[in-house]
Amino acid sequence: MPWDTTDYPSSLKNLDEPVRNKAIDIANAMIDEGYKEGRAIPIATDQAKEWYENASEKEINQVKKMSDEDLRSRGGDQQSSRPELMDKGEHVIPHEDGWAVKAEDAKKASNVYDNKQDAIDRAKEIAKNKQTQVIIHNKDGSVKDTLNE
């Protein structure tokens, strides 16, 4: 059964409205594609948070205005949910502020850390949820290691 603004997993209740709506939209799309609920919910939550960090004011307002019917029918803009990143590995790359975690082909990093190990730990967590791999880079950008999560 698809979720909407009145019926959604309790783990989404503390999210801000646009993040929650986007997570519902992404999770419904994933369920339609055959993902199990237990896997779809954490992935959708992470992706919705990342989307929110990169979304324009206009995109956020569009998601806020999504009706229950839009959410149940996957009527939201799937392009901005970036479902294509669900099967992409997580890269730990050098960043001007330390070390970044960034999904392959993503426009922006999802997280930035001072410490490389913190970035690796976060990348492992995301990759485990997505059942993908972690690609760890050296300071010069070359690949140091690949971990399958």
- pTM value surpassing 0.75: no
Tens digit of pLDDT for each residue in 3-58?
Answer: 888 889 899 999 999 999 999 988 888 877 677 888 889 999 999 999 898 888 88
d(CA 72, CA 44): 15
Residue 148: count other Cβ atoms within 10 Å of its Cβ. Answer: 9
- Provide the pLDDT for residue 76: 39
pLDDT > 60? residue 137: yes
Average pLDDT score over the chain: 84
d(CA 109, CA 101): 6
Instruction: Please say whether the beta carbons of 2 and 28 come within 8 A.
Output: yes
Instruction: Please say whether the beta carbons of 55 and 73 come within 8 A.
Output: no
Bridge partner residues of 111 (DSSP):
101
Instruction: Please say whether the beta carbons of 103 and 56 come within 8 A.
Output: no
d(CA 33, CA 55): 24
Region 105-112: mean pLDDT is 81
More confident residue, 1 or 106: 106
Q: Where are the domains of the chain?
A: 10-82, 88-148
d(CA 19, CA 120): 25
